[in-house]
């Protein structure tokens, strides 16, 4: 038997040549996630812009409402997976817009407490409507959304844990 040369009849590649199909763009999870994130954020942007909000501002508000109390910048950053360098200017802009109040901790000057204002709280019903409209526009069922979110959250948690042990 001849062991070298020749072409593989199924793949059309030379015998023994590596299969690079896993390097094809459509095989990349990172691109699928990035594209989905961009498209979903665009849906939110269309609905949030008339309310004078950006998508990151929406996320800050819903995270603060979830706490049901003022939160520290550290807690907020952890909840949103945002670093201080990204979160601080966002929170400052929201304070300037009258959506948040910030207050330094009296015992520890390094700690800053953040809370939604009455103006922000007045947007809560409208933001619930925005979220429901985004979900309505997605071409998958509520059950599929919940399953996909669970899978992604599990993956994110596992990657974060692995990162911390390295």
Give helix then strand counts, H and E, for the chain: 7, 3
Angle between helices 55-67 and 73-80 (to 10 degrees): 120
Q: DSSP for 112-125, please give it.
A: EEEEE-HHHHTTHH
**pLDDT score of 1 more than 70:** no
For residue range 111-137, list pLDDT tens digits in order: 999 999 999 999 999 999 999 999 999
The pLDDT value recorded for residue 15 is 84
- Note the pTM of the prediction, 2 decimals: 0.87
Contact between residue 32 and residue 38 where contact means Cβ atoms under 8 Å apart: no
**Angle at CA 133, nearest 5°, toward 37 and 99?**
80
For residue range 51-64, list pLDDT tens digits in order: 999 999 999 999 99
The model's confidence at residue 5, banded by pLDDT at 50, 70 and 90, is low
Q: Is 98 helix (H, G, I), strand (E, B) or coil?
A: coil
For residue range 11-20, list pLDDT tens digits in order: 777 888 889 9
Dihedral of alpha carbons 12, 14, 15, 17, sign: negative
Give residue for tokens 């590649």: 13
């Amino acid at each position: 038997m001849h062991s070298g040369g020749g072409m593989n009849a199924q793949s059309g590649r030379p015998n023994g040549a590596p299969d690079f199909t896993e390097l094809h763009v459509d095989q990349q999870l990172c691109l699928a996630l990035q594209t989905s994130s961009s498209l979903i954020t665009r849906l939110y942007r269309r609905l949030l812009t008339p309310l004078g909000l950006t998508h990151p501002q929406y996320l800050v508000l819903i995270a603060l409402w979830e706490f049901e109390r003022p939160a520290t910048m550290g807690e907020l950053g952890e909840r949103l997976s945002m670093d201080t360098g990204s979160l601080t200017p966002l929170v400052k802009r929201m304070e300037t817009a009258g959506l948040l109040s910030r207050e330094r901790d009296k015992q520890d000057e390094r700690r800053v407490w953040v809370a939604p204002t009455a103006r922000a709280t007045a947007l809560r019903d409208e933001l619930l409507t925005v979220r429901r409209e985004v979900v309505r526009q997605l071409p998958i069922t509520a059950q599929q959304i919940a399953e996909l979110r669970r899978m992604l959250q599990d993956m994110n948690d596992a990657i974060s844990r692995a990162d911390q042990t390295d």
